[in-house]
Amino acid sequence: MTANFLIGRRLFGAGIAATGLVGSMTTSFAQAPKKGGTLVATWGGGEPQACYVPAGGGSSPTFSSSQLFERLASRNMNGDFEGELAESWKPAADFKSYTVKIRKGVKFHDGKDMGVDDVVYSINEIWKKYAAASALTDFAGVEAPDADTVVVKFTKPVPEFFFASLLCGTVNYIVPKHIYAGSDPVTNPANNAPIATGPYKFKEWVRGSHFEYVRNDAYWRNGFPYLDRLIIRYVRDPAGRAAAMEAGDIQIGVFNPVAPPDIKRLTATGKFVATDKGYEESVWATTMECNTRNPIFAKREVREAMFFAVDRNLIAKTVYYGYARPGTGPIFSPNKTFFTKDTFSTAFDPKKAAALLDAAGYPKKGKDPRFTVNLLAAGWFAENGKIGAIVKQGLEDVGVRVNLTVPDRPTSLKRIYTDYDFDIAISNQANPSEPVPSTTQYFTSDGIKKGIPFRNASGFHTDEVDGLVEKIKVETDPAKRKALVVEFQKIASKEAPNLPLVELQSITVASTKVQNHSNDPNYLAASWHDIWLS
Amino acid sequence: MASIASTGASARQRAALRLLGRRLVQAVPLLLGVVVINFCLIQLAPGSFLELMTAENQVSDPATVELLRKTYGLDDPIWMQLLKYIWALLHFDFGFSYRQNMPVIEAIGVHLPATLLLMVSSITLAMTVGVAAGVVASMKVRTFWDSLVSVAAMFFYAAPSFWLGIMLIVLFSVKLGWLPVGGMATIGGDGGMLDILHHLILPTLALGLFYAAIYTRVMRSSMLEVSQADFVRTARAKGLSRNKVTIAHVLRNALLPVVTILGVQMGTVLAGSVVIESVFSWPGIGSLLFDSVSSRNYPVVLGIMVLGSLVVIVANIAVDLIYMWLDPRIEIR
């Protein structure tokens, strides 16, 4: 979900590709899990605005709430869906409703039973209004016919993959109705001291420092969690994180916690391992978005030329120290379900870019530029500014004058999504496997919402794509649906209003004492119930 | 004689009270100016917390955005927003922080003690080390000790505080393991005073040594200048020992420029804490300010500015009073 944009990814310049990922992660399978101990964890960003934010609120509150709250389902490393607070789910024959069996014997941290009322409340009041508002457009209601069952209804057929993805959506938690009912969920004080069903119970939040969670002895998964305490500590400075890890104060850091040289240095000691596992369901990309409201960029050849003019390998090697790969299409390559290589793609070819611009009616006349471009590199990640410089160089080499600006986060949001004050924007996306709506909304007319960030800012839309996405939304046959998504990728890649320049790899660094980590395709948002310390 | 002395003392007290009253009256337009200027500067910054709010919360309904705009008073004209803010301030209402989901004064109150502790300890270190080193350098002028002090002062003045902080962490925390890497207290510990002091050492050094370097340089030159004054020569001629002349006569007068700088620099110490708190994960107001600026959390930014101004004003009033104590001639002017 693009709500994850807030992550502090100053460390995307990770540079251990040359050395490969280092350390061994096989010890966890060789030893029996050990109970007890305190694990101190951190991540590559800052402290959240609240421990739990009903609408998501970005990666930081997702990280701080995922060990406390639980979802109805989760996805494992093989890509299979598994029940969590739901034991099973089954579609009706017309796929317009799903029957979900709720797990029995689950208690909230305050001792009250979790039941269908909590599920109904969560879907109606939290998912529909906040957490999954953009996905639940065809939602028709939810009811509980008996004490163990809820039925979720839709106005149109809903594919199983879509529904299962909804159940394990990053912040589609089951919240306690007795805590939230009758209040504004956004401002409920419980958001800062949550009561939920997860493996850990909230104990304390020392603002500016850390969260302290303790083992939930009444957790429904017998024998879990292994840890007595889990501390989530916030260290703003990456060098400070590296020092804290080296001094033994922090044992695990997710989502690029330290700078590339520190990854190499820490793992070289033999006391740490680094892995890129655990990010398969949250792949980040740096994108280039063309504003089709500008008549120049309304021409497909011009948009195509922009991508031919930029050396994406150079970006991957220099800006991300090799810890990225050129992107191909709107569905990112780690997406096992829907990604296809069979799309139109652009390689670095300035001559072809120049030819395309000539053909589009913008020939170079002596020293005069073909046209001038207002290039905006969104300043929420430092790397975007560096990429902006490479894009500027590439475009100027083919005769396009570039005015590059790198505004800070609020200014970038306003200029890209409210004012549409850009010709080309360097931005970022992090998308899950299900393409609707998180990926498709960048290409459809219903994604054009002025003032709403991380939607269709390019203004691109065609009846063909709109119709195709409508079909993807309701196609319940997995093979046919995949074919439709492949078709969508082909069109989007050829039209090129908004494509990834590079797909990014994220890294977890952990002490060798930390066992059984990075075993979830979105580990930042995992429950960590089975992590243990040797 | 006793009567004359007590009359002099009460005259000084009256003068001090007059000064205090004058400064407090001057503080009102000053604070108002701070509020107005900062409010306008923030308004000039493009983007607002509304964009961030809608981005973070994935708000997809334009009607909801409009509702939020109205809820937070952003649909009022700027001058109206300013008047409302000043009116609220007069009632000690600093506004509401949407991000922390609590009143601004509470959000600041959570972080302020940590910053004040860091500021006080750093200033204390800077004054102590700076004055002592400046005195030593001036008494041993053009000797090895003078050179050593000058080189050290230049080093700490030139070294960026964030770099110094990281180097201190590497040396004392990672390599030697003597001091904690960061934080204000041991997580899960008793949070006792000794534990906090243990955590305070490195951030205090990183922030305070820069100012100590400034005070050292100023103190040295001030000492050398005052030691050439006629009253010092007279004191020596009266047969007072060198140490007594230095401490009782030269030091007291040489302190005046250092005290002046101290008052001026209270604001920069507060600003410096933003960087140091980041390096040491010190849970102070610096990190809150950084987050608030980058999220356009105007109420918190303004609240911190107003409180920061108050700290500087109070510090400068204290400096004025110290001035009067150090140099009684000031009350006459």
Predicted pLDDT of residue A11 = 37
Is some CB atom of chain B closer than 8 A to the CB atom of A40?
Answer: yes
Q: Where are the beta strands (DSSP E) in A276-389?
A: 283-290, 324-326, 372-377
Type of residue numbered A40: V
User: Torsion-angle region of residue A64: left (phi > 0), alpha (psi -120 to 50) or beta?
Assistant: alpha
Residues of A in contact with B46 (CB under 8 A): 407, 410-411, 414-415
Span B168-174, mean pLDDT? 92
Query: Quick check: A458 pLDDT over 50?
Result: yes
Query: Quick check: A22 pLDDT over 50?
Result: no
Query: Quick check: A80 pLDDT over 90?
Result: yes
Closest C-alpha to A348, from A307, A316, A377: A307
Pick the more confident residue, B295 or B216.
B216
Would the CB atoms of B278 and A130 count as touching at under 8 Å? no
Would the CB atoms of B287 and A2 count as touching at under 8 Å? no
Span A230-257, mean pLDDT? 92
Q: Is the pTM of this model over 0.90?
A: no
| Residue of chain B nearest A45, judged by CA positions | B291
Rounded to whole angstroms, the Cα distance separating B244 from B246 reads 5
Predicted pLDDT of residue A20 = 41
Strand A372-377 versus strand A401-405 pairing type: parallel
Window from B43-57, B141-155, B236-250 with minimum mean pLDDT: B43-57
Query: Quick check: A5 pLDDT over 90?
Result: no
Window from A394-408, A482-496, B59-73, B297-311 with minimum mean pLDDT: B59-73
Which element (helix H / strand E) includes A152? strand A149-154
Torsion sign over Cα A75, A81, A84, A86: positive
Span A15-19, mean pLDDT? 37
Peptide bond into A225 cis (omega under 30): yes
Span B119-148, mean pLDDT? 93
| Residue of chain B nearest A210, judged by CA positions | B187
Question: Using alpha carbons only, how large is chain B's radius of gyration in Å?
Answer: 24
Closest C-alpha to A167, from A142, A146, A145, A199: A142
Is some CB atom of chain A closer than 8 A to the CB atom of B237?
Answer: no
Which element (helix H / strand E) includes A499? strand A498-504
Averaged pLDDT score across all residues of chain A: 91
Q: What is the pLDDT of residues A25-53, one digit of tens each?
A: 444 455 789 999 999 999 998 899 899 99
Q: What are the backbone dihedrals phi and psi of residue A154, each rounded to the nearest 5 degrees, phi first?
A: -130, 160
**Degrees, nearest 5: CA angle B253-B254-B257:** 105
Would the CB atoms of B52 and A133 count as touching at under 8 Å? no
Q: What is the pLDDT of residues A415-424, one digit of tens each?
A: 999 899 999 9
pLDDT band at A476 (very low <50, low <70, confident <90, very high): very high
Pick the more confident residue, B297 or B204.
B204
Q: What are the backbone dihedrals phi and psi of residue A135, each rounded to the nearest 5 degrees, phi first?
A: -90, -25
Predicted pLDDT of residue B98 = 80
Of A55, A208, A410, nearest to B51 by CB-CB distance is: A410
Pick the more confident residue, A347 or A193.
A193
Span A510-521, mean pLDDT? 96
Q: Structure tokens of B224?
A: 């050398």
For the stretch B212-245, what's the b/e string if a residue is b when 16 or more beta carbons lie within 10 angstroms of its beta carbon? Answer: bbbbbbbbbebbbebbeeeebeebeeeeeeeeeb
Of A49, A408, A413, nearest to B55 by CB-CB distance is: A413
Window from A300-314, B168-182, B233-247 with minimum mean pLDDT: B233-247
Span A47-72, mean pLDDT? 92
Peptide bond into A326 cis (omega under 30): no
Which element (helix H / strand E) includes A478? helix A478-495
Which element (helix H / strand E) includes B222? helix B193-226
Rounded to whole angstroms, the Cα distance separating A38 from A40 reads 7
A79 close to A141: Cβ distance less than 8 angstroms: no
Predicted pLDDT of residue B4 = 54
Which A positions 448-487 lie with beta carbon below 8 A of chain B? 449-455
Predicted pLDDT of residue A459 = 97
A256 close to A45: Cβ distance less than 8 angstroms: no
Is some CB atom of chain A closer than 8 A to the CB atom of B96?
Answer: no
Is some CB atom of chain A closer than 8 A to the CB atom of B74?
Answer: no
Q: Structure tokens of B164?
A: 């110094």
Which A positions 130-189 lie with beta carbon below 8 A of chain B? 130, 133-134, 186-187
Count Cβ atoms within 10 A of the Cβ of residue B148 and give its class: 0-12 exposed, 13-18 middle, 19 or more buried.
middle
* DSSP SS3 for B201: helix
Is some CB atom of chain A closer than 8 A to the CB atom of B44?
Answer: no
Please report where in the chains the tokens 């050492």 appear, as a residue.
B201
Span A428-444, mean pLDDT? 93
Highest averaged pLDDT of the listed ranges A224-228, B28-32, B193-197:
A224-228
User: Bridge-partner residues for A290, per DSSP?
Assistant: A424
Would the CB atoms of B296 and A412 count as touching at under 8 Å? no
Predicted pLDDT of residue B330 = 66
Would the CB atoms of B295 and A134 count as touching at under 8 Å? no
Query: Quick check: A312 pLDDT over 70?
Result: yes
Please report where in the chains the tokens 């009073």 appear, as a residue.
B321
Of A49, A133, A454, nearest to B55 by CB-CB distance is: A454
Q: What is the pLDDT of residues B255-284, one digit of tens each?
A: 988 888 888 888 888 888 888 988 888 989
Query: Quick check: B6 pLDDT over 70?
Result: no
Would the CB atoms of B184 and A229 count as touching at under 8 Å? no
Which A positions 58-87 lie with beta carbon below 8 A of chain B? 58
Chains A–B, number of C-beta pairs less than 8 Å apart:
171
pLDDT band at A120 (very low <50, low <70, confident <90, very high): very high
Residues of A in contact with B173 (CB under 8 A): 243, 247
Query: Quick check: A7 pLDDT over 50?
Result: no
Span A190-215, mean pLDDT? 95
Helix and strand counts by DSSP (H, E) for chain A: 14, 21
A168 close to A64: Cβ distance less than 8 angstroms: no
A283 close to A500: Cβ distance less than 8 angstroms: no
Window from A213-222, A510-519, B314-323 with minimum mean pLDDT: B314-323
The widest CA-to-CA distance across chain B, in whole angstroms, is: 86
Span A265-272, mean pLDDT? 94
**Dihedral of the CA atoms A245, A249, A254, A260 (nearest 10)?**
-20
Query: Quick check: B328 pLDDT over 80?
Result: no
Averaged pLDDT score across all residues of chain B: 86
Query: Quick check: A471 pLDDT over 70?
Result: yes
Q: Structure tokens of A77?
A: 């490393």
Which A positions 116-135 lie with beta carbon below 8 A of chain B? 130, 133-134
Predicted pLDDT of residue A6 = 37
- For A31-91, the DSSP string reads S------EEEEEESS---SSS--TT--SHHHHHHHTTT--BSEEE-TTS-EEESSEEEEEE
Query: Quick check: A351 pLDDT over 70?
Result: yes
Please report where in the chains the tokens 């004003």 appear, as a residue.
B313
State the helix-helix crossing angle for A300-309 and A382-397, rounded to 10 degrees: 110
| Residue of chain B nearest A137, judged by CA positions | B60
Torsion sign over Cα B177, B180, B182, B188: positive
Rounded to whole angstroms, the Cα distance separating A462 from A27 reads 52
Would the CB atoms of B187 and A410 count as touching at under 8 Å? no
Q: How many CB atoms lie within 10 A of CB B288?
A: 30
Strand A229-233 versus strand A38-43 pairing type: parallel
Closest C-alpha to B287, from B86, B31, B115, B82: B115
Of A1, A49, A237, nearest to B100 by CB-CB distance is: A49
Closest C-alpha to A231, from A198, A255, A209: A209
- Written in H, E and C, the secondary structure of A405-437 is ECCCHHHHHHHHHHCCCCCEEEEEEEECCCCCC
Residues of B in contact with A58 (CB under 8 A): 56
Would the CB atoms of B56 and A243 count as touching at under 8 Å? no
Residues of B in contact with A186 (CB under 8 A): 57, 101
Of A53, A191, A237, nearest to B279 by CB-CB distance is: A237
DSSP A125: I
